[in-house]
Amino acid sequence: MRPAGGSAPLFILSFRHRDELTAAAERAGWHPIAARRADNAESRFIASGALVAIVDARGALREGREAVRALADCAETNSAALLVLLSRTDEAALDDLYASGATHFLVSPFTEPQLLQAVQFAGRFAERVGGGRARRRTDEPGTTRQPNSWRWQPGSGTVELSPALARRAGLGEEQGRRISLLDLFRKLDADGRKAARGAVDRLLATGESTGFAHADVSGGGVRLAHRLRVEADGVVGQTEAIAPVSPGGLGTPSRDAMTGLRDARSARAWMDSQLIRGEGDPALVVLLLAVSRFDAINAAFGRETGDAVLQAAGRRIERFVDPDGRRRLVARIAGAEFAILLAAPASLAEARFLAGQLVEAIGRPFMSGDHVVTLGSRVGVVAAEAGDDAMRLLRRASAALAEAKAAEAGPVCVLDADAASDSALGDRLEIDLRRALDQDEIEILFQPQVSIATRRIVGAEALARWRHPQFGELGAITLFNVAERSDYLVQLSDHVQRKAIAAAAAWPASLGDLRLSVNITAADIVRPNFAAQFVEMVDETGFPADRLTVEVTESGLIEDLAKAGNLLAQLRQSGLRMAIDDFGTGYSSLAYLKALPLDYLKIDKRLVEDISGSARDQVVVRSVIDMSRSLGLEVIAEGVETEEQLALLAQEGCTLYQGFLCSPPVDAERLAILVEG
SS (H, E, C) 9-30: EEEEEECCCHHHHHHHHHHCCC
pTM, entire model: 0.47
pLDDT digit string, tens, across residues 199-220: 888 888 877 767 777 776 655 4
- Give the pLDDT score at 445: 94
Tell me which DSSP letter residue 526 carries: T
Highest averaged pLDDT of the listed ranges 409-418, 452-461, 645-654: 452-461
pLDDT tens-digit map of 617-676: 678 788 888 888 888 899 999 988 888 889 989 988 899 999 888 988 899 999 999 998
CA nearest neighbour of 585 among 609, 614, 566: 609
**Model pLDDT for residues 585-626, shown as the tens digit of each residue:** 544 456 567 678 899 988 877 678 667 666 766 787 888 888
Question: What percentage of the chain exceeds 70 in pLDDT?
Answer: 82
The DSSP H or E segment spanning 573 is helix 561-573
Taking only the tens place, the pLDDT of each residue in 225-238 is: 777 878 777 888 87
Q: Specify the higher pLDDT residue, 646 or 402.
A: 646
DSSP 644: H
What is the mean pLDDT of the segment spanning 63-79?
82
Reported as a pLDDT band with limits 50, 70 and 90, residue 419 is: very low
Predicted pLDDT at 138: 33
Hey, how many other C-beta atoms are within 10 angstroms of the C-beta on 305? 18
Give the model confidence (pLDDT) of 246-278 as tens digits. 433 444 567 777 788 888 888 888 888 888 877
pLDDT for position 183: 77
What would you report as the CA-atom Rg of the chain, rounded to the nearest whole angstrom? 31
Structure confidence at residue 536 (pLDDT): 95
Q: How confident is the model at residue 575 (pLDDT cuts 50, 70, 90)?
A: very high
Per DSSP (E only), the strands in 495-576 are: 515-520, 548-553
* Residue 592 neighbours by CB under 8 Å, 6+ apart: 557, 558, 561
* 119-169 pLDDT, tens digit each: 989 988 887 766 544 433 333 333 333 456 788 888 888 888 877 677 766
Q: What is the pLDDT of residue 560?
A: 62
pLDDT of residue 323: 78
Confidence band (pLDDT; 50, 70, 90) for 426? low
Model confidence pLDDT, tens digit, residues 503-553: 999 999 999 999 999 999 878 888 889 999 999 999 999 999 999 999 987
Of 53-57, 177-181, 251-255, minimum mean pLDDT range: 251-255
